Amino acid sequence: MPIVTVTRRLRFNAAHRVHNPALSDEDNTRLFGKCNNPNWHGHNYVLEVSVRGPVNETTGYVIDLGQLRDVVEREVINQTDHRNFNIDVPYMAGINPTTENVVVQMWRVLFPAVAPARLIRLRLWETENNYVDYEGE
Ligand code: NI
């Protein structure tokens, strides 16, 4: 039976301040630049959710992408869209909201939520030029 990867793209926007309180203000500015601005700033994020599995003989689908969208919206987008990662988003509590840290926390929420579909990759775009991939390692 053929094994296929399918991907759903979702968009949201959110504010953040990338900041490590264990470091000095000077070091935070040096490390994080504009993303360390004290009064927040926003990004238009794009999240790509990929699941992999056999093609169902009856439906011809690996997963209904509308169902996958509903799960991702319920589990992460609704808690995140138009919010501030530093103060509003439960799964980011106490975690510095770099794109890397966000994608790992999203994985921890989504991996069990999409089961029995098998989540194999999250790709999170922070800007048109920068994205991170996480595959659960
Ligand atoms: Ni930023």
CATH number, domain with residue 67: 3.30.479.10
> Domain range holding 114?
3-134
Residues paired with 118 in a beta bridge:
52
- Quote the percentage of the chain above a pLDDT of 90: 97
Chain segment 39-58, per-residue pLDDT in tens: 999 999 999 999 999 999 99
User: Annotated catalytic residue: which of 35, 41, 43, 48?
Assistant: 35
Average pLDDT over residues 80-108: 97
Q: Which residues contact 88 (CB under 8 A, 6 or more apart)?
A: none
3-state secondary structure of 61: coil
Separation of CA 2 and ligand 1 centre (Å): 40
pLDDT at 1: 84
pLDDT at 64: 94
- State the pTM of this model: 0.95
Separation of CA 114 and ligand 1 centre (Å): 28
Burial of 39 (0-12, 13-18, 19+ CB in 10 A): exposed
Query: What is the count of structural domains for the chain?
Result: 1
Average pLDDT over residues 56-84: 96
Our answer to whether residue 26 is catalytic in this structure is no
Element (H, E) at 28: helix 25-32
Q: Which amino acid is at 21?
A: P
* DSSP conformation letters of 98-132: -HHHHHHHHHHHHHHHHTTSEEEEEEEESSSS-EE
3-state secondary structure of 14: strand
Our answer to whether residue 43 is catalytic in this structure is no
